[in-house]
Chain A
Amino acid sequence: MTNSSFKNFISKEFKHIFRDIRTLLIVLVMPVIQLLIFGFVISSEIKNADYAVLDYSRDYFSKQMVNRISSSGYFNFKGYIDNQNDIEEVFKNGDVKLVLVIADNFSRTLQNSHYADYQIVTDASDPNTASILAGYAQSIINTYVADYFGSQTDMKRIDVQNRMFYNEEMNSAFMFVPGTMVLILMLVTAMMTSISITREKELGTMEILLVSPLKPWQIIVGKVIPYITIAFTNVLVIILMGYTVFGLPLRGNLILLLSVSSLFILLALSLGILISTLAKSQSVAMFMSLFALMLPTILLSGFIFPIENMPKLLQWLSLIMPPRWFLSALKTIMIKGQGLQYITKEVLVMLAMTAFFITLSIKKFKVRLE
């Protein structure tokens, strides 16, 4: 009796989600679109930055130097400006990111006093871009001056040979594929689960379910099973796409990867269930998920911003963020190709967190029933 009603309940829940084409489409297409966007948008390269020149000399060497910068590929020459006041104007307009100011008598100073007299002014409202561009411009100019004096070998006495470990081609997929996986799993499992359980509460149908022959745990399991299915599909799609479209190697053990992903799905579910026991209405559940799960997932997991650069307090805070551990395990397996012994810490932390959230949810749930 209970068994068949449990089955019926599960199939009802499945129908409820899969009946709606829009949700289904978004759930299954979203990871694909997100991967594509991250893949083409996140790049560490800064190219074609617009710059302007304030050249008081306008002589042979100053023009040659400007040509050198314009043909470097990093900069796009927007034109000359006439005076100091124009600098502020082009910056405020957002026309250029950098202005090169060349003092007058540039050629003569260079020949007689062996001194390149110039100044770089950046729009540092975007500080990173500014400092990188300033660095590019300086090194182009230094090389130009060195070439002019025919002492190229002198200026380049030391050469740095770079070797990128794990990622020879500087493929950004190493960053965003695991990151997207964490983001999508959090969204589909934690967020969706919390909302779908809270919905029953808000619409008053939870009471009806509780007086049905179903046991409380069956209600919860029935509710989350469809999301587990979707989440697992997403994992497979993301791994497959990362491999085929973005050339992300799968160096580690696939079974291990899927097991760790399943563990994280379970962890995210337990979080979702916990939120649903706390929230009274769907909008509250949604905001709790959004602020307590999504933003930290994006920012405190090491997905986009390296944790080591954060203030100490946030580094500690990131320790209690489930995504942080999953992401670290993912990278270890997928990219470094290392086995279970290298991710014991991550796995143990995730297990402990899952146990903790489930216990807490059961406590909360019991209190509500009484």
Chain B
Amino acid sequence: MRKIIILLQKEFIQIFRNKTILPIIFVLPIVQLLILANAATQEMKNIKLAIVDYDNSSESRSLVNLFDYSNFYTIVPTESATKKAIQLIDLGKADAALIIPNSFGEKLKKGVKVDVQLLLNGINITSASLTQKYTVGIVKKFSNQISLSFSNVPAVSQSVRHWYNPELNYKLYMVPGILVVLVTIVGMFLTAINIVREKELGTIEQVNVTPIKPYQFIIGKLLPFWIIALFELMIGLLIAKLVFNLSIVGSIPLLFGFAAIYLLVALGLGLILSTSASNQQQVMFMAFFFMIVFLMLSGLFTPVESMPKWAIIFNKINPLYYFMKVNRMLILKGSSFSHLWDSFLAISVMAVVVLSFAILRYNKKSA
């Protein structure tokens, strides 16, 4: 025990002595959180729509007005020519163009179906399909209004209630996800790099000839980063509260409990990576590779339910997926242990398996 405490002292002194690593550990996550949460926005606030109105009737103008009044659209002038509108899309000055034919008002009055054209820039399919959904939605609303004024079609109550995030603020969804990334980077990357550094500089050989047992060495190596990463999570949550007004609905001890177990997995993975590499560059590369794969599948950007079957199955062994899910459920919805026990079970099993494997592997390598 005493040996471990001395080792811990050594590690902490080494980490905090390093003038460059300190700001990296504490300042960068803050900056990241602020930038990422604001950058990772899937809200369409500013759709640049070019409207070409060949009709110029009171009906077509009231449709144009609907777009004009909407907060989501900025109308781009087109000189009433389709050609000009297409040019604007070409130059990236418009995201979409709506073409209203010259028989628009006439046909509506007669009750004949009328077609309007929507031209979209389809390079970024995510924003293109959102733009399309919004625009078609507004046209439909207009169409319904007209229909209602013409016939006795029943009114449909349109009451939608969005729970947990009535304003549909996308940042609230992203912040818990970004925290997962930050904690993982500190846990997995820093650990792996730190151990390989000792290898590369040859200091690990010195440790091996001292009476320190491998398990003591491992605890001495992992514990500081476990503590730092949890501290990192705390800072992140504080910033989220101060800057984004994100309150934790669920139980804070439960959140940290899960993070603590999750970090054992992340640290274990870091240790495995460090035993598989001989220099820092390799370890970095491998860590990065696994991180990207795990992260992309974890549901940070895209809902897991919409992914193909193989990805959903793979996520059963993806620690990031569980932490992402639990973090969001706990923080945003206030889920309790009874809702999350299966994720707790999965991550605990992973922690045991990964850590045992890592320690066995380390012992073999250093023996």
Chain A interface residues toward B at CB < 8 A: 20, 22-23, 26-27, 30, 33-34, 37-38, 40-50, 87, 91-94, 97, 110, 113-132, 134-135, 138-139, 141-142, 145-146, 149, 151, 153-168, 170-172, 174-175, 187, 191-192, 195-196, 199, 202-203, 279-284, 286-288, 290-291, 294-296, 299-300, 302, 304-306, 308-311, 313-314, 317, 331, 335-336
Contact = CB atoms under 8 A, between A and B. Distances in A.
A119 B113 contact: no
Contact of B135 (A160, A296, A300): A160
Interface stretch (B115-123, B226-234, B344-352): B115-123
Contact of B165 (A42, A124, A175): A124
B282 A116 contact: no
Contact of B156 (A125, A142, A160): A142
Contacts of B303: 46, 126, 129
B152 A124 contact: no
B20 A284 contact: yes
B119 A163 contact: yes
- Closest CB pairs A-B (n = 7): A167-B122, A114-B154, A164-B122, A124-B162, A127-B168, A125-B332, A124-B165
B35 A154 contact: no
A155 B144 contact: yes
A199 B336 CA distance: 47
A145 B129 contact: no
Given A124-B168, A199-B200, A284-B21, 20 more contacts: A22-B277, A26-B286, A40-B307, A44-B126, A44-B129, A94-B329, A94-B339, A114-B152, A119-B160, A124-B166, A125-B329, A153-B113, A161-B116, A165-B86, A282-B193, A302-B124, A306-B124, A306-B126, A309-B41, A310-B38
Interface in B10-64: 18, 20-21, 24, 28, 31-32, 35-36, 38-46, 48
A74 to B, nearest CB: 10
A212 to B, nearest CB: 21
B299 to A, nearest CB: 9
9 contacts: A34-B296, A40-B311, A41-B307, A44-B125, A119-B161, A120-B159, A135-B137, A202-B201, A309-B41
Contacts, number: 342
A45 B132 CA distance: 13
A224 to B, nearest CB: 14
B355 to A, nearest CB: 23
A50 B120 contact: no
A122 B159 CA distance: 11
A93 B164 CA distance: 14
Nearest to A48: B305
A327 to B, nearest CB: 11
A164 B150 CA distance: 33
Nearest to A171: B125
Contacts of A127: 43, 162, 165, 168-170, 172-173
B153 A175 contact: no
Given A41-B302, A121-B161, A157-B147, A283 B136 contact: no
B296 A38 contact: yes
Interface string B159-190: 11111111011101100000000000100011
B163 A91 contact: yes
B80 interface: no
Interface in B213-269: none
B20 A203 contact: no
B210 interface: no
Given A26-B289, A50-B305, A166 B123 contact: yes
Nearest to A122: B162
Nearest to B287: A286
A282 B302 contact: no
A38 B86 CA distance: 30
B36 A295 contact: yes
B193 A203 contact: no
A30 B45 contact: no
Contacts of A168: 122
Contacts of B201: 202-203
Interface string B273-285: 0001111111011
Contact of A299 (B24, B35, B115, B297): B35
Nearest to A287: B24
B226 to A, nearest CB: 18
B339 A93 contact: yes
Contacts of A294: 288
Q: Which residue, A38, A131, A139, has most C-beta atoms of chain B within 10 A?
A: A131
Nearest to A169: B122
A73 to B, nearest CB: 12
Contact of B173 (A87, A125, A132, A139): A125
Given A115-B154, A131-B162, A170-B125, A283 B193 contact: yes
B108 interface: yes
B153 A149 contact: yes
A160 B279 contact: no
